[in-house]
Structures are given as C-alpha cells and as structure tokens.
C-alpha cells in the first residue's frame, strides 16, 4: 500500500511539474512549432513574422544590455587607473601631464567630479569641454567603437512648444521614438554611441537617426543626413 502511494504521489508531482511548464510555454508554442510551416493566410504570415521579430529583438536587447553593463564596469575601472596616474603627475608638479590624463577621464565620463574639479581649479574646464565636444562631432566610422558609451536616456524636441516628440531609451536597451502627439513610433537599435550622441536605426535598416546635444538628424543610407528638429537631452 505504501509503495503504491509513493508511486502515485511521485507521478502526481511529475505531472504537476509538466503541467506548469506547459502552461508557461503554451503561448510560445504557435511561434516555435509552426515557425517553419507554410502560413495559410497573409494575416497568419504577418502575425508569425511580428512574433518572431519580437523574440529576436528581445534577444538582441538582452545581449546589448549585458554588453553595456560590461562596458560601464570597464570604463569605471579605467577611470580609476587614470585618476591615480593624474594625481601622481599633479602631486609631482607635472600639471601638463595631469591635464592630459584628466582630459582622458572626461572623454569617458564628462561628469566625473574629480577631473572637473581639477580643471576648474586651473581655470580650463570650459576649454576642455569644448575640445571634447569638437572631437565628438568629427568622429569617423573607424573610431566609433572606441568612443565612451552614452549616459543619456531621453532626448526631447524643443523647437515646438506643445510637441511631445522625443526619443527614449527603453529598459531593454532599445530606443523608442514618440511622435509629437505622444504616440509610440519606431523601435530603434543602437548603431554607435558616445557620452552625449547616439546613432540609431530601425530594424528594416531603411531609417537611421543621429541624436546630438541640440538636434537630431535622419538618413536613409547613413551618408546623407538631413536635419530633423532642435532639442536637448532631458535625462
């Protein structure tokens, strides 16, 4: 009797586990089971495509988030090294060498308080900020990936008072364009990013957006850029 009870109890537990897994995965079954089968209608084909693209986007966003976290950690480690080197130079009276090193810190993080305090003390903060900004405007494709990562999360249009037009970074790492009437538009993927500049594209590759401190630009080929609107980073 005891053996029969154990067998029944074990089978019940196994059945419960399998049932819970089925309940969790059931919404995904149509996507994965029928992904390679011929769709019977236009609507079914488009629905499948949308579902599969959404899954791909989520995988990309997850990978980009992990990459961004790793980059942030590496940058902070590099800043620590550079600050130590700069302090050594400054402590020995080598102000020129300390200035060059602290400038590298601000290229990674323009808001770094240690570097900013140093340049404020020697009266060069405005000059250094200008040099860094001009350097970012003249980047080339070869150095894109060497630039520090973007720290901003929302850019808003400012040349139309009532406009709600903005670009927002989502928690999953993708960017969302919001139209002037507040409606969500295209989802955009990061192509390149810097402390206060980001280049994005939609998943078709037919639209590219470049967001600067004071304006955004758009392009269909990544070469010929047209002015979009004036605005600024608000977060």
Task: Output the pTM of the full model.
Answer: 0.44
Query: How big, in percent rounded to 5, are the helix, strand and coil portions of the chain?
Result: 55, 20, 30
Beta bridge partners of 129: none
* Average pLDDT of span 79-83: 92
Q: What region, left, alpha or beta, does residue 169 occupy, with left being phi > 0 and alpha being psi -120 to 50 degrees?
A: beta
* 124-168 per-position pLDDT tens digit: 888 887 777 665 544 444 334 444 556 778 888 888 777 888 898
CA-nearest of 196, 207, 200, 159 to 176 is 200
Name the phi and psi angles at 13, rounded to 5.
-65, -45
| Cβ contact 186:209 at 8 Å | no
Structure confidence at residue 35 (pLDDT): 56
Asked whether residue 32 carries a pLDDT value surpassing 70, the answer given is no
Residue 116, both tokens: 């900013």
Mean of all residue pLDDT scores within the chain: 75
Residues comprising the chain, all counted: 235
Structure confidence at residue 136 (pLDDT): 52
Structure confidence at residue 87 (pLDDT): 92
Residue 1, both tokens: 């009797």
Strands 175-178 and 184-194: antiparallel
């Amino acid at each position: 009797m005891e053996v029969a009870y154990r067998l029944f109890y074990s089978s019940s537990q196994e059945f419960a586990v399998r049932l819970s897994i089925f309940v969790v995965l059931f919404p995904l079954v149509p996507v994965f089971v029928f992904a390679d089968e011929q769709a019977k209608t236009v609507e079914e084909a488009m629905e499948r495509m949308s579902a599969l693209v959404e899954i791909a986007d989520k995988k990309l966003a997850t990978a980009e988030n992990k990459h961004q976290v790793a980059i942030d950690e590496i940058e902070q480690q590099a800043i620590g090294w550079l600050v130590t080197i700069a302090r050594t130079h400054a402590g020995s009276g080598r102000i020129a060498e300390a200035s060059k090193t602290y400038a590298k810190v601000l290229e990674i993080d323009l808001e770094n308080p240690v570097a900013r305090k140093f340049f404020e003390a020697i009266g060069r903060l405005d000059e250094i900020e200008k040099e860094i900004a001009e350097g970012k405007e003249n980047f080339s494709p070869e150095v894109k990936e060497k630039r520090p990562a973007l720290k901003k999360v929302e850019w808003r249009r400012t040349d139309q008072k009532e406009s709600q037009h903005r670009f927002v970074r989502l928690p999953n790492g993708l960017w969302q364009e919001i139209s002037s009437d507040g409606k969500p538009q295209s989802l955009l993927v990061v192509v390149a990013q810097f402390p206060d500049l980001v280049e994005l594209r939609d998943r078709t590759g037919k639209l590219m957006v470049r967001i600067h401190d004071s304006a955004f630009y758009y392009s269909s080929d990544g070469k010929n850029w047209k002015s979009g609107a004036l605005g600024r980073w608000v977060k």
